[in-house]
Amino acid sequence: MTELHIRQVVSPSMLGLMLGILLLMPMALALATGQPVLEIYTVMYNKVTQKGIDGKLGLDLLQVLLGVAALLFMFARQRALRLYVSAQGIELQNRNPVIRLFIRPWRIVWGQMSEVVLHGAPAARIALEFRIKGGQSRKLGVAEWIRPEGNVKLGWSALRFAFKPPPAHESELLRVLAGYGINVVDRTEVDAARMGFALEKNRYTRVALIVLAVLATYAAIDGIVVLDESFVEEPPLPAFLMAGAMTAMVGMVLLLRFGVPAAESVGLGALVGVALGLASYPATLRINALTDPVGMGQHEYVLQRGAMLYPLTGGLPSLYAPISREFWAAQRIGSTWDIELRQGGLGIWQYRRAPLLEHIRDYHERNSRR
């Protein structure tokens, strides 16, 4: 019997690097903004743990957590799965009960097999299909299965994502099957016309993927968790949409010019455009704050009907139900509130959320105890 492991694609060091980037991003923001690192981590903790506030926050954080969960899933999968090939048959074992919810173990006796077919699958992933008499089948990736002693350090670059599996016909799995006299029908040439384009194998799409990851990470961390200021009036969404659309168009044209297929150019260019549009929201607030010649000031506002807050001093903008309309609708008409505002170099008014969030958090906590 021969035991095969999954080739190590997500190494512990790679996983640690990705998680480290996620955790150290606030430090980079602290250096860029001049805020204490501990203050940024405290703001992040308060925003994550607060209840009843910013329903959109949970959905946005979920996107970040899903990306981390995908890496953890790949890491757990490569540790949990084992393939055993013998003269009697082939068996896939799954040692992790969580991974077993997604990948079920199976076993096939050679006598049940009608044929074994080598396919060329999308994105240059070669798949081996075990066809069982009666119409069922099982598939395995050819390049990812190796002997335990072959699971050595990966030849990849953190910046280039240049992991290159061996050619399909040199895979350990095919060698093992040949050793047991199992005939494999090669249909890779037949499938070659349907094979997709591998983004990770093209230098230009790798650059686009890195830009996409940086923009998406910045938009998620600074825009959702760290940034403590919001627009007083409606944010300039047309400008954000225009910036995203222009970036998407430029990205598509450049990728097409560098020989990337049309479908991949359009899809990847559009994703980069969307990421830049999302990152424009916190970036605009940051630039506006950095170019503010006066700084944040505290001003007194009075609450009126319709959850409107009007300034007691002239020359200041009014606010409509900042953060939570439910909270302001429950407050006494005519009550006064201190709001911290600034008008930055871009001419945009923005207010600080933390003091208001304290009042809103107390309101929700009192309601939850009733």
Q: Are 223 and 126 part of one and the same domain? A: no
Q: Which tokens go with 276? A: 């830049």
SS3 263: helix
**The last residue of a domain, from among 166, 196, 226:** 196
CB-based burial, 218-228: b 16+ in 10 Å, e otherwise:
bbbbbbbbbbb
Q: Are 237 and 319 part of one and the same domain? A: no
- What whole-number distance in Å separates Cα of residue 197 and Cα of residue 149? 31
Q: Are 185 and 214 part of one and the same domain? A: no
Q: Are 232 and 210 part of one and the same domain? A: yes
Q: Are 12 and 98 part of one and the same domain? A: yes
- pTM summary value: 0.50
Q: Are 54 and 183 part of one and the same domain? A: yes
10 Å CB burial of residue 106 (0-12, 13-18, 19+) is: middle
Q: Give the domain extent around 46.
A: 1-196
Q: What is the count of structural domains for the chain?
A: 3
**The last residue of a domain, from among 177, 196, 215:** 196
Q: Are 235 and 127 part of one and the same domain? A: no
Q: Are 79 and 137 part of one and the same domain? A: yes
| CA distances (Å), origin 81, targets 99, 240, 252 | 9, 45, 39
What's phi and psi for 34, nearest 5 deg?
80, 5
SS3 291: coil
Q: Which tokens go with 295? A: 């700084």
Q: Are 228 and 143 part of one and the same domain? A: no
Q: Are 96 and 124 part of one and the same domain? A: yes
Q: Are 191 and 202 part of one and the same domain? A: no
pLDDT by residue for the chain (370 residues), tens digit each?
888 877 666 566 666 766 776 667 667 766 666 667 677 666 666 655 554 444 445 455 556 666 677 778 877 888 888 888 888 889 999 988 888 888 889 898 888 888 888 776 544 456 778 888 877 888 887 777 777 765 544 444 443 333 444 555 567 788 888 888 888 887 766 554 444 566 777 788 889 999 999 999 998 888 777 788 889 988 888 889 999 999 999 999 888 888 788 878 889 999 999 999 999 999 999 999 999 888 889 999 999 988 899 999 888 999 988 888 888 988 899 999 999 999 988 888 999 988 888 888 888 888 776 6
Comparing CA positions, the residue from 246, 119, 139 lying closest to residue 194 is: 119
Q: Are 165 and 208 part of one and the same domain? A: no
**The last residue of a domain, from among 269, 290, 311:** 290
